[in-house]
Each structure stands twice: as structure tokens, then as C-alpha cells.
Amino acid sequence: MFHDFKLTDDRPVAVQVKDHMKRLIIKGALQADQKLPSTRELSLLLNVSRNAIIAAYEGLEDDGLSYTVRGKGSYVAAISGGGSTTAPSWQPDWHARTNGHAKSAVKLDRMKRGILAERGTISFTSIAPDEKLFDLDNVRRAFLDRMAIEGNVLLNYGYAKGYKPLIDYLLRYMDHKGVNIKGKDMLITNGFTEGLDMVLSALRRPDGAVLCENPTHNTALKLLKLHGFEVKGIPMERDGIDLHELDRALAERTYDCAYFVPSYHNPTGIVTSPEKRLALMKRMAERRIPIIEDGFNEELRYSGSHVAPLMATAGDGNGVIYLGSFSKVLFPGLRVGWVLADRELIDYLESIKRARTIHTSTLDQSLLYQYLHNGNLEKYLKKARAEYKRKYEWTKQCIEAHVPYVRMTGDGGLHLFVAFEEGFDTRELLAACSRQGVIFTPGEMFYTGEGEGRHTMRIGFSRVNDEEIGKGIRIIGETAKQLTN
């Protein structure tokens, strides 16, 4: 049994020896009160230094797995559980024991049924940031700076609402976007997704309904459905939501809330015009419908004039719940987002947050804070905007040259949205393209109605290099032409 031992990697040798012996004891290969080999013997058997064996034996004794008899050596302790003393084993049928919520979560989980990209595939499916832009030195610097200031604090429990310096920074940040923060408060969340999930948890009502753009952000759509809302999608025009259709929907029934992505709409990339923003706000205020505003990629606007968030046009009213995140702008691996809303609502959300995840990683929050505080955001955005703008223009140019599209939208960000003629099926296109090593996101998943948007696709270009953009779009275009002929 000692011959199974292999030094596998660069973990300390003593730890590996201890783990090996522990396993033998727990699995019952070494029995209670059996004498262990002397440290000298085991050192020879395992071809490991005697010091490592001595440290390993000490560790075993600390764990209550062995005991020492003075002048005789180490013996295996009597242990409970494990190989020798097992309870009756049985196998639950989890399909029968899990509820509708669990089953809906799987059903709505597109990632589980996505096409697996093989190595070398040109993938336009991602709208995550380009890793090559990450300024790792500044991240490292921010970590070391913050650890030096309050390392102990960062590693212990924090507050459910979030890390105070980050909250203060983000409140000022929102103030600079023109938002009146009077009467409002902020909760830090594990990214945008947790923020939306908690807001919906607090507002969900049996048979509630929600308004949104159609198409819309697929993660949001999934959550709205998981929470049991009836989802009413309003078609998008070139400058934002179709107000005529909105009025029709408003005449039909009442809504618990509305979910809008006004600044860089996902998937269409449309920036809602100032006029439509005002018209939208007026209608929502008249009907007393709270708005959940998804601040998605506001920061990555790289053309056109400044557009303030919907929340900034609400004055001191508190009918807008703003969800922010730097995930697509900076680092998605740091799961940090924020909810800015009426103080009273944040008070509810804080309790929900505490019940579910206690608080967001203090390390993530403090690292992000220090990175921002060190003034890195401006520099990073300058670099990122220039790079994404270049890619955006190149992708657009390629699509114009090769793809037989009917409509293309996207005023910036990390993606473009392409519509073919009605009747065209982008899932067929995807199947044909993936055989040639190119994949993209069929638009259907962004639509609120069954079977809608089959003639559309989203092209995310952030993580594809110029050469592959050219090659990939050409393949999509040529394949689409073949399918339309």
C-alpha cells in the first residue's frame, strides 16, 4: 500500500505524505491500533526525507488519526465512519424530489445546450471583455495597496450592504452621471445578475406582469420567467422602444414593473434617443410603474454625445431602480455589481442579500475600489474604447461587404445585431457555419415570444482578432447566401 504513493505536484512533501497515510487509515487499509512504520522505515519506503515523515506523523496525530506510545512509535487511532462502518446506502431520485423551480432553471439554462466550440473555432458568441486589454500590473498594485492598508479587514466578514469605500465611490460616480442620490441608497451585489434576481424576488407577485424591450437581454429574460412573471415584450425601433406598441400594452393590463436597457441595448446595441427616454419616463410615471434600469455598458459608448441614465431624468423621484456593473467594462471575474434605488427598497434588498449570500466578497470589492481609486478606470476606458471601436468598425465593414442582411444595429459596445429576411433561420445558418468552424448567437433566445426572431443573430466581436473577424464574417456571409438561394 505504500507503493501507491507518488509525489504528484509541487505541494509540500509532508502534506502529501500525511494525506496518503490519512487516506489509508480512513479507507480502512490501516486498522485501529495497528503500528505505523517507523519514520526511518517509511522514509525509505516512500523515498522521502525523514523530516517530512516526522511532520506528516505530527499532522496525523493532530487530526486524531494516530497516537504515540512512548518509546514504541505511532499507532493508528480508532476512528468512526469511513470504510468499515457504513450506514445503509440509498439513492434518491432527484428528478422526483426537485421542484418546478429547479426544473425551469435547467430548462431555461441555454448554456447547457449551447454548441461546444472546438479549439480553433472562430466564436462570435461572447460579449465578455478582451483579456488582452486587462492591465494586470494595476490590478496587482491595487491588491497590494489595499492589503497593506487593511489586509485583516478584507479577509474577515464585511457588511451585507457592501464595502463602504466602494459604496461611497459609486455613489459619487452615479452623482456624476447626473443622478440625484437624495433619498437613495446602494447595495453591492455579486454582479448585475444577483441584483436583478433580488429585485425580482422582492417584487414578484402571483400572476404579476413585467414590460420589457423585445428582444432583450437573455439573462434578464430567463430570470423574469423563473420568477413567474408574465413577460410583455415591446418591439424595438431604430431609436428605442416602439411607443405606439407600448401604449397598446399599457392599455391592456397593469404591470408590476418594467425592465429596460436604454443605453446599450442587449442584443440590438441600440441607444434609446433622448426624446424616447423622456416619453418612456412620462408614461411610466403616469401609470406608476417602477423601472428597473439596466446600465449595461454605458461606459463603453464610443461614439455620439453623452446620454444620461433614465434615473438621471427622474429628479428626486424614486421610481427607477438602477442596476450597474463593471463586468463587461472591466473584469467579469470580480463579481461586483450594484443596485441604486430608494432607501426603503434597499432596506428590503439588504435583508434578502444577507439571507442568501451574507455579503459580496470583500476582496473583490476592495480590489475594485482600490483600482478605481488609483485612477485606472479612465486610462483603461480610453484604451478599451479605442480598441473596441476599431473592431466594431472592422466588423461592421465586413458584414456590409459579405452578409446579405436586411437590418444591422449597434451603436457601439461589444456586439452587432443582424436581421435577415423574415423566414430565414439563423439556427440553420449556425449549424452550417459551425461545420466550417464559425459560431455566433442565434437571435431567437433574446425574444419574449416563442419562435420570434429566428431571422436574427448577435455578433460579439470583443474577443475575436481582426483576421478571424474577417474570415469568420466572410464564412457567415457566404453560407447565408447559399441558404437564401
Sites for a second copy among residues 114-143 (CB under 8 A): 128-129, 131-132, 134, 136, 139-140, 143
CB burial of residue 434 (10 Å; 0-12, 13-18, 19+)? middle
With respect to a second copy, which residue has the nearer C-beta, 135 or 425? 135
Contact call for residue 164 and a second copy (CB under 8 A): no
8 Å CB contact between 485 and 412: no
Q: How far is the CB of 470 from a second copy (least distance, A)?
A: 24
Contact call for residue 408 and a second copy (CB under 8 A): no
- The helix (H) or strand (E) run that includes residue 150 is helix 136-155
Written in H, E and C, the secondary structure of 319-362 is: CEEEEEECCCCCCCCCCCEEEEEEHHHHHHHHHHHHHHHCCCCH
Rg (CA), the chain: 28
Q: Cell numbers of 380, please?
A: 483603461
With respect to a second copy, which residue has the nearer C-beta, 316 or 450? 316
Task: Compute the distance between CA of residue 283 and CA of residue 251 in angstroms, rounded to an integer.
Answer: 11
With respect to a second copy, which residue has the nearer C-beta, 143 or 394? 143
Cα distance between the two ends of the chain: 68
Contact call for residue 97 and a second copy (CB under 8 A): yes
Q: What part of residues 1-20 is at the interface with a second copy (CB under 8 A)?
A: 9-12, 14-15, 18-19
Contact call for residue 363 and a second copy (CB under 8 A): yes
Contact call for residue 46 and a second copy (CB under 8 A): no
Task: Compute the distance between CA of residue 350 and CA of residue 188 in angstroms, rounded to an integer.
Answer: 9
* Among residues 156, 251, 435, 485, the one that binds a second copy under rule CB under 8 A: 156
Give the dihedral of Cα atoms 408, 410, 415, 420; nearest 10 deg: -20
* β-strands 230-237, 209-214 pairing: parallel
Contact call for residue 88 and a second copy (CB under 8 A): yes
Q: How far is the CB of 42 from a second copy (least distance, A)?
A: 18
Residue 285: C-alpha distances to residues 145, 249, 258, 319 (Å): 45, 15, 11, 8
Residue 224: C-alpha distances to residues 133, 203, 220, 231, 380 (Å): 33, 11, 6, 7, 33
Contact call for residue 83 and a second copy (CB under 8 A): yes
Binding mask 322-361 for a second copy (x = CB under 8 A): ---------xxxxx------x-xx-xxxxxx-xxxxxxxx
Q: How far is the CB of 336 from a second copy (least distance, A)?
A: 8
Stretch near a second copy under the rule CB under 8 A, chosen from 36-44, 305-313, 433-441, 452-460: 305-313
Q: Any idea what the Cα angle at residue 420 is, between residues 417 and 423, rounded to 5°? A: 130
* Among residues 30, 53, 160, 212, the one that binds a second copy under rule CB under 8 A: 160
Contact call for residue 304 and a second copy (CB under 8 A): yes
Contact call for residue 389 and a second copy (CB under 8 A): no
DSSP state of 405: -
With respect to a second copy, which residue has the nearer C-beta, 193 or 214? 193
Contact call for residue 451 and a second copy (CB under 8 A): no
Q: How far is the CB of 402 from a second copy (least distance, A)?
A: 29
8 Å CB contact between 158 and 359: yes
* Among residues 3, 4, 6, 89, the one that binds a second copy under rule CB under 8 A: 89
Contact call for residue 62 and a second copy (CB under 8 A): yes
Contact call for residue 281 and a second copy (CB under 8 A): yes
> For a second copy, how many residues bind (rule: CB under 8 A)?
146
Nearest to 237 by CA among 398, 415, 401, 419: 419
Contact call for residue 113 and a second copy (CB under 8 A): no
Contact call for residue 438 and a second copy (CB under 8 A): no
Task: Compute the distance between CA of residue 135 and CA of residue 110 in angstroms, rounded to an integer.
Answer: 32
Contact call for residue 29 and a second copy (CB under 8 A): no
* Among residues 290, 295, 410, 443, the one that binds a second copy under rule CB under 8 A: 290
Stretch near a second copy under the rule CB under 8 A, chosen from 171-179, 246-254, 396-404, 445-453: 171-179
Nearest to 74 by CA among 88, 83, 64: 64
* Among residues 1, 7, 44, 64, the one that binds a second copy under rule CB under 8 A: 64
Residue 179: C-alpha distances to residues 170, 253, 260, 308, 313 (Å): 11, 30, 17, 8, 8
* Among residues 308, 431, 432, 445, the one that binds a second copy under rule CB under 8 A: 308
Stretch near a second copy under the rule CB under 8 A, chosen from 37-45, 87-95, 397-405, 474-482: 87-95
Q: How far is the CB of 484 from a second copy (least distance, A)?
A: 34
Largest CA distance in the chain: 92
With respect to a second copy, which residue has the nearer C-beta, 177 or 471? 177
